[in-house]
Amino acid sequence: MSIVEKAAEKLKALPLESGQPQPLQTETKPVPKAPMVERLQERTRMLDQPAESAPLCVVDLAALKRMSVLPADDDAERRLADELRRVKRPLLDNAFGAGAETFARAKRIVVTSAEAGEGKTFTALNLALSLAHETDFEVLLVDGDIPKSDITRIFGLSGEGGLMDVLADEQRAPAEVIVRTDVPNLLVVPAGKRHPLAAELFRSRRMEYVLDQWGGQHRGRLMVFDSPPLLAASESQVLASHMGQVVVVVAAGRTRRQAVNSALQRLNDLQYVGLILNMSDLSADESYYDNDHESHSRDR
Ligand SMILES: Nc1ncnc2c1ncn2[C@@H]1O[C@H](COP(=O)(O)OP(=O)(O)O)[C@@H](O)[C@H]1O
Ligand SMILES: [Mg+2]
């Protein structure tokens, strides 16, 4: 059975829907909009660092909490940390451990989902922060959701050069758009300027070169990409095709199983695919389905 088929099998057992098939829903909670972001931007400063040429972005974690892009209270924080530990284990194993032989490009991780509003950005940000807490490597969080660019706005980096700029302009060095943050080991790449040929640029050889420059020379660097929904934008599938590991976020009780299945069909068999059931009250044990483990309790 292929990796994607295995993921689809696991999906069948997930308690996604209750009773009748639910219509697809998009955003249930509003994504952070301008006023909040502007408030954050006031607190996020770019400082010149004499020792290094890259700018430094000062991240105000309290402001991120108020924007509800980080867990709101200690209890939610503990639950998420517990869940992320389980998510991280196979990802790290594939990137640096025994699984590294199996999955090429496993240091590239994309967080995606079938539809909008399922928690891709929330998961990508919290996963990147959680990975950055491990001391052995750096984490490059890349905003690959060009139309929404929520990661860019969350870090107050709107208007800064980013992914699209180094793809569109071969004269620009990929490293130019990396922004250091005051969170140890966390680096960010903003989305950059929108481009009408985003899918073509994602498909180009330049894309592979840029990703290689960002990650290839740094054996201890992981990349985490936020992305658009797999079913809504063709560039999402193209972006995912460059990645060795894919984390698919599924909003519990909202997304139709068929939609998640269609999303999984857009991934390929060379990738590690892990599913996260987001916004559910299942324990962390039950809400992450990684493909190496066949036995998960689904009695609920
Ligand atoms: N596990 C979670 N706990 C609390 N809030 C969440 C969680 N997942 C998502 N959210 C919130 O739900 C909204 C939609 O999530 P978001 O990550 O922006 O979705 P997407 O990137 O898939 O469109 C945001 O306001 C986000 O902060
Ligand atoms: Mg998003």
Print the SS3 string covering 115-179.
Answer: CCCCCHHHHHHHHHHHHHCCCCCEEEEEECCCCCCHHHHHCCCCCCCCHHHHHHCCCCCHHHHCE
How much distance in Å is there from the Cα of 278 to the middle of ligand 1? 9
C-alpha radius of gyration, the chain, whole number: 18
Instruction: Kindly state if the Cβ of 120 falls inside 6 Å of ligand 1.
Output: yes
How much distance in Å is there from the Cα of 246 to the middle of ligand 1? 18
Whether the Cβ atoms of residue 143 and residue 149 lie closer than 8 Å to each other: yes
- Among 24, 25, 31, the mutation site with the greatest number of ligand 1 atoms within 8 A of its Cβ is 31
What lies within 8 Å, CB to CB, of 84 at 6+ separation is 126, 127, 130
pLDDT tens by residue, 98-139:
878 788 899 999 999 999 999 999 999 999 999 999 878 999
- Asked if pLDDT for residue 220 goes beyond 90, the answer is no
How much distance in Å is there from the Cα of 148 to the middle of ligand 1? 13
Distance of alpha carbon 289 from alpha carbon 277, whole angstroms: 8
Range of the domain at 172: 3-15+54-290
In a domain, 286, yes or no: yes
In a domain, 38, yes or no: no
We report the CATH number of the domain holding residue 94 as 3.40.50.300
Please tell me which residue, 282 or 274, carries the higher pLDDT value.
Answer: 274
In a domain, 99, yes or no: yes
Task: Work out how many domains the chain is built from and give that number.
Answer: 1
pLDDT tens by residue, 54-72:
668 999 988 999 989 999 8
In a domain, 101, yes or no: yes
Exposed / middle / buried, residue 111 (Cβ in 10 Å: 0-12, 13-18, 19+):
buried
How much distance in Å is there from the Cα of 299 to the middle of ligand 2? 31
**Total-model pTM:** 0.82
In a domain, 21, yes or no: no
How much distance in Å is there from the Cα of 32 to the middle of ligand 2? 10
pLDDT confidence of residue 167: 98
- Among 122, 239, 277, the mutation site with the greatest number of ligand 1 atoms within 8 A of its Cβ is 122
Partner residues linked to 277 by β-bridges: 250
Name the phi and psi angles at 36, rounded to 5: -60, -45
In a domain, 43, yes or no: no
In a domain, 267, yes or no: yes
In a domain, 159, yes or no: yes
Average of pLDDT values for 259-280? 90
* DSSP count for the chain of H helices, then E strands: 12, 10
Among all bound ligands, the one having the nearest atom to the CA of 71 is 1
Whether the Cβ atoms of residue 147 and residue 194 lie closer than 8 Å to each other: yes
What does the DSSP 8-state code read for residue 9?
H
Instruction: Kindly state if the Cβ of 25 falls inside 6 Å of ligand 1.
Output: no
